[in-house]
Chains A and B, each alone.
Chain A
Amino acid sequence: MPEVQSNSTQRICPLLSGGDHAERLLDYANRKLNVESASLIEQHAASCPACSAFVESQRSVWKALDEWDAAEISSDFDRRLWARIEQEERAPWYVRLWNRATDFGDANWRPVVPVAAVLLLAVGLYVKPFSGSFIGTPTSTADVTVRVDAEQLETALEEMEMLRQFSPTDSQSVHKM
């Protein structure tokens, strides 16, 4: 098993032993060790494939971070940000309400908004047909609104016609029409 000799003359592989020794390996990769300690790690890594691979992968990460350039903020970013905030504040109340309802951070109730809107629309469509079904409304308290049901009307007319057709001819004047 490959080993590294620490300041206390112990010969231990930092990856396999874990604990403080592993932290020393990370410190090495993060370039925090002094020259003497870094030299000891390098000597060990030269003969230990596992530590060597670990150190190499950490170096790649550092290299990538060194090469990364953050995009620069445009010179008028602040000016445009404040103009946008001002514009939002001047917007009509319903626009502000809508913006808050549809774009407010991580509020838990946000998914409810579109569902509520659809439900309200559905309720509106459901209620509306009933509102237009009146023919005439009572104009005084003496008036009573009465429904004219098609089937009741049909039965009433049928019963009268039935009587007219079935009653004896000579017994009444109903048939002399």
Chain B
Amino acid sequence: MNPRFLGISFGILLAAAPLATAQQRKNAPSAKMPIVKSTPNKGLTKAEKQQRLVERFNNMNPEQQQRVLANMPPERRRQVQQNLEQYRRLSKEQKKQIANQLDQLPVEKRQAALGVYRRINQLPDERKVPVRNEIRRLNGMPEDKRAARLESKDFKKLYSPEEQQMISEVSGIFSAN
């Protein structure tokens, strides 16, 4: 075989290798993103898309689920499993109601509330429940009563300044009034 031909062949292989790799990467999802069959998401709201994503995950076998969560720290993985358990207990009607409420929230309020939700999760277990209950109560109050409650001595006595801040940030966001 002609040595020049050999040299050219190696050259072509070397030049083509990065292209092949790039193409393969373009077509393939990353290892932490398994793909499953689904119908298109066209026409769905953001919350409905989110629920569809959760449904897909819920329908995966345990091995596939583990692969999705493989790169997540154990604590966050445990939290995902807990939240998934809560989601599984919801009826179809409840899921629809949640999706509607989430879609009605402006993006910035949604993000602010999510930030508070995560900060509350960092609190000691014995403080999480009273803080969440207070937020729930406040969101059920008319605006004037809510404002009075936030200014009350009782409120300031029951919660630390950090807790008061978190509660006031999300009070009213989920108000039914």
CA–CA, A70 and B114, complex, Å: 91
Contact A150 B68 (CB under 8 A): yes
Interface membership of B130, Cβ < 8 A: no
Digitize A24-43: 1 where CB-to-B-CB distance is under 8 Å, 0 elsewhere: 00000000000000000000
Q: State the Cβ distance, B74 to closest chain A Cβ, in Å.
A: 13
Digitize B105-127: 1 where CB-to-A-CB distance is under 8 Å, 0 elsewhere: 00000100110011000000000
Number of A-B residue pairs, CB cutoff 8 Å, is 207
Digitize B98-110: 1 where CB-to-A-CB distance is under 8 Å, 0 elsewhere: 1001100000001
Q: State the Cβ distance, A118 to closest chain B Cβ, in Å.
A: 11
Interface membership of B64, Cβ < 8 A: yes
Chain B interface residue count: which class?
A: 35 or more
CA–CA, A149 and B34, complex, Å: 8
CA–CA, A131 and B114, complex, Å: 36
B contacts, CB < 8 Å to A: 1, 3-4, 6-7, 10, 13-14, 17-18, 20-21, 24-25, 28-41, 47, 50-51, 53-54, 56-57, 60, 64, 67-69, 71-72, 76, 79-80, 83-84, 86-87, 89-90, 93-94, 97-98, 101-102, 110, 113-114, 117-118, 132, 135-137, 139-141, 170, 173-176
A contacts, CB < 8 Å to B: 96-97, 100-101, 104, 107, 109, 112-113, 116, 119-120, 123, 126-127, 129-131, 133-136, 138-139, 142-150, 152-175, 177
**Supplied contacts A153-B53, A166-B174, 10 more A-B pairs, CB within 8 Å:** A126-B21, A133-B34, A143-B38, A144-B40, A152-B53, A163-B174, A164-B86, A165-B135, A169-B136, A175-B136
